[in-house]
């Protein structure tokens, strides 16, 4: 039997081989199936996430927290059973503007008849450019003008460029043992009390809160009695500019510019002759109210090099200071900013050092300074001379997409008929211009001007400077009004080049 048939061992070997083949084939199939598992799991996870976002399944099926309406308002589902109709796009509230190349002929037509008013005086300079390209669209006069407060545009641009819009200035209290020094850091808006700071823009640090923080730190060290001095040495040079009229001090036009003051150096609505001393004594009073006795006289003195910091308060950021300075034409803040630029650049933090630093920063930005000269940061000096080209270069640089950190020079400009020094102007003339003109005012006796930007009715962004600096006193209001009308004419103008007009 064994001889006639296949040996049993051979049969068993063939069966084993077939089993191994089937096992190997099954293993390959299993491996192929398993290789798809990660991809399938990824698809399922994505589908689950989409389903949860779109249908809030995690909350409805598994009791997970519902979608947060504060962080993901668009993902919040309507209540069950609510049938909402399909939405339709809302109609446009205004025609879309297509910025283009403004037509010099149309700009000239809008302005020429207004410039003929003799009440503007014998010296009127006007320059209008396409702000995006720098193309001159209209020009009247040449040379330089007395810029008055349009000078603040230069100071503001230099401050933003050199310091950065987020920089803050510190007012500090330092100590060696029980000897305290209040150190001014050049905060232009430091208030005396929280009440004096309340509701103000930008938000103000205040000396009384600084005194409370100081008292808390001293009490923790077991100190209840101190001697106090104040340090305003961060700024140098005279407090009053020798290029200003001597009457500016007695007439309370501006305070001495110091690195330490409260309430901008005012007491009972008048500027004081020694704002740093007033700040020091105000701080001493606040310390006493907070439980720290001040013994001996409160005197000026430089903080010791080895003093340690006890407390500190920081100013608003530079960007907000610039906006406020331009909106309300704050002379004091402008002068402080010029000194802060000097400190950053490395010139003396004085009137002369500040103007040197401002021009150095502007020159590095590529602003055309030929024919221009300034003696302060605010524009109070009649010796200042700027060309319209310099002013427009400042505006164009601030508006450029290449310099986003300089934009507060534009956003801080007063809006015609709405904000700041233009709030109560532009009430006569084309109504279409209200809100379309943003400009820095410039006013001294006999000097009236605007420098800013206007968006015309065709969407063209126009930079302009209009300054009349030989206006007789009786013509003060008529001249100012005429300048307003010229700026308004740009905002209310269809100055865009006709589509079929060749570009020259």
d(CA 303, CA 97): 58
CB 216: neighbour CB atoms within 10 A? 14
Tell me the CB-side half-sphere exposure of residue 438, using CA atoms within 13 A: 18
Buried b (16+ CB within 10 A) or exposed e, 112-133: eebbebebbbeebbbbbbbbbe
Q: Which residues contact 85 (CB under 8 A, 6 or more apart)?
A: none
The pair of three-digit structure tokens given for residue 382, joined into one six-digit string = 């009649």
DSSP bridge pairs for 309: 174
Q: Write down the catalytic residue from 132, 144, 329, 372.
A: 329
User: What separation, in Å, do the N-terminal and C-terminal C-alpha atoms of the chain show?
Assistant: 115
Catalytic site includes residue 329: yes
Active site residue 315: no
Catalytic residue, from 101, 132, 144, 149: name it: 149
Q: How far is CA 400 from CA 101, 240, 484, 497, in A?
A: 17, 35, 25, 23
Residues whose CB is less than 8 angstroms from the CB of residue 439 and which lie 6 or more positions away in sequence, other chains included:
413, 414, 416, 422, 450, 451, 452, 453, 454, 464, 487
Cα separation, 15 vs 17, whole angstroms: 5
CB 252 within 8 A of CB 162: no
Annotated catalytic residue 152: yes
- The active-site residue, picked from 101, 132, 144, 152, is 152
CA angle 265, 444, 382 (to 5 degrees): 90
Mutual angle of helices 8-35 and 37-55, in 10-degree steps: 30
Residues with a catalytic annotation lie at 149, 152, 329
């Amino acid at each position: 039997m064994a001889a006639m048939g296949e040996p049993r061992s051979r049969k068993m070997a063939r069966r084993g081989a077939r089993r191994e083949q089937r096992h190997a084939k099954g293993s390959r199939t299993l491996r192929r199936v398993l290789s798809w598992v990660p991809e399938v799991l990824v698809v399922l996870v994505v589908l689950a996430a989409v389903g949860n976002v779109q249908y809030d399944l995690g909350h409805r099926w598994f009791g997970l927290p519902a979608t947060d309406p504060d962080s993901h308002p668009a993902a919040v589902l309507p209540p069950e059973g609510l049938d909402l109709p399909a939405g339709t796009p809302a109609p446009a509230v205004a025609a879309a503007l297509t910025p283009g190349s403004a037509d010099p002929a149309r700009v000239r037509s809008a302005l020429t008849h207004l410039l003929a008013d003799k009440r503007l005086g014998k010296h009127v300079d006007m320059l209008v450019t396409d702000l995006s390209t720098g193309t001159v669209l209209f020009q009247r006069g040449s040379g330089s003008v007395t810029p008055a407060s349009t000078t603040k545009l230069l100071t503001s641009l230099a401050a933003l460029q050199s310091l950065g819009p987020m920089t803050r200035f510190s007012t500090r209290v330092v100590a060696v043992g029980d000897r305290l020094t209040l150190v001014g850091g050049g905060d232009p808006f430091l208030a005396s009390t929280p009440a004096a700071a309340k509701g103000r823009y930008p938000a103000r640090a205040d000396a009384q809160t600084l005194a409370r923080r100081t008292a808390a730190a001293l009490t923790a060290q077991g100190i209840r009695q101190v001697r106090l001095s104040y340090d305003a040495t961060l700024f140098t040079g005279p407090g009053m500019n020798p290029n200003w009229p001597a009457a500016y001090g007695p007439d309370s036009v501006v305070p001495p510019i110091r690195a330490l003051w409260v309430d901008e150096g005012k007491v009972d609505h008048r500027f004081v002759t020694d704002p740093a001393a007033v700040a020091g004594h105000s701080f001493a009073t606040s310390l006493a109210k907070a439980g720290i006795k001040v013994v001996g006289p409160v005197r000026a003195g430089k903080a010791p090099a080895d003093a340690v910091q006890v407390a500190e308060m920081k100013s608003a950021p530079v960007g907000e200071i610039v906006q406020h300075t331009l909106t309300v034409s704050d002379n004091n803040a402008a002068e402080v900013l010029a000194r802060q630029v000097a400190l950053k650049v490395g010139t003396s933090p004085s009137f002369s050092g500040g103007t040197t630093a401002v021009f150095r920063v502007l020159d590095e930005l590529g602003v055309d300074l030929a024919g221009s000269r300034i003696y302060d940061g605010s524009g109070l000096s009649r010796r200042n001379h700027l060309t319209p080209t310099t002013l427009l270069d400042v505006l164009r640089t601030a508006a450029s997409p290449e310099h986003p950190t300089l934009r507060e020079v534009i956003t801080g400009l007063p809006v015609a008929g709405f904000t700041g020094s233009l709030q109560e102007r532009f009430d006569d003339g084309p109504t279409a211009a209200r809100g379309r003109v943003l400009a820095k005012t410039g006013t001294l006796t006999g000097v009236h001007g605007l420098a800013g930007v206007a968006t015309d009715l065709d969407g063209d962004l126009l930079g302009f400077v209009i300054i009349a600096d030989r206006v007789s006193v009786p013509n003060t209001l008529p001249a100012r009004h005429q300048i307003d009308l010229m700026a308004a004419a740009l905002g209310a103008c269809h100055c865009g080049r006709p589509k079929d007009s060749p570009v020259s």
